Amino acid sequence: MCPSRSASSPAQASTVPLSTAIGGRRPTKPTTPSSTNPSASPPNSAFDARSERNLATLLPEAQKAARRFLTKAIAAGHDVRILSGTRSYAEQAALFRKGRWGNPGPRVTNARPGQSLHNHGVAWDVGVFKNGQYQTAQAPYVAVAKYHDPETTEWGGSWKTFKDTPHYQLRHYVKL
């Protein structure tokens, strides 16, 4: 994934081609719904507050896909929430440092700032809960994955290397 690109200038975060490239059928402006305050409870708020907060950080196409997935999984009896949506370059850099250069923890990403679709509004991570407890085992994540739409959405658990079972992203975007 683009290892030759230096991440030395993470400041140029604002103009990426993705927002204009998602199938060319982006219905509305990405982050500023005209009639609603994103920090307030959205009109069709069906999900928990954290999920809604993270959903609001996604571009409309991604938000639609994530909402469809969540709706189906919850209807089937799973307690699934969106734990992460769009991340700033600084947040991505902090994640990339985990498990590298003597920093503690397992490595959680191979993407430098700008290289993760989380930086571009088209990727989200889910958490599965049982009796209110966040699940860390793989099985519950594999179980809920069948509710995503493979036409529009790619599941990180389907990747050959670095399987990322909580991760989903839109299929249609321009590679950086």
Quick note: the x/- pattern for Zn ion over 27-66, rule CB under 5 A, is ----------------------------------------
**Is residue 167 part of the contact set for Zn ion (CB under 5 A)?**
yes
Which residue type, as a one-letter code, is found at position 73? A
Shortest distance, position 117 Cβ to Zn ion, whole Å:
8
Beta carbon of residue 23, minimum distance to Zn ion (angstroms, whole number): 21
Comparing every residue's Cβ against Zn ion, the nearest one is: 167
Q: Between 52 and 125, name the residue whose CB sits nearer to Zn ion.
A: 125
When the beta carbons of 29 and 134 are compared against Zn ion, the nearer one is 134
**Min separation Cβ 166 and Zn ion, Å:** 7
Question: 81 or 167, CB closer to Zn ion?
Answer: 167
Q: Which of residues 91-150 bind Zn ion (CB under 5 A)?
A: 125
Instruction: Please report how close the Cβ of residue 121 comes to Zn ion at its closest, in angstroms.
Output: 13
* 62-71 own/partner pairs: CB under 8 Å, 24+ apart: 62/22, 62/121, 62/122, 62/123, 62/124, 62/169, 62/170, 65/148, 65/149, 65/152, 65/153, 65/168, 65/170, 66/124, 66/168, 68/149, 69/126, 69/147, 69/148, 69/149, 69/153, 69/168, 70/126, 71/46
**Residue pair 82/51 in contact by the 8 Å Cβ criterion:** yes
* Size of the residue set binding Zn ion (CB under 5 A): 2
Q: How far is the CB of 43 from Zn ion (least distance, A)?
A: 27
Binding stretches for Zn ion (CB under 5 A): 125, 167
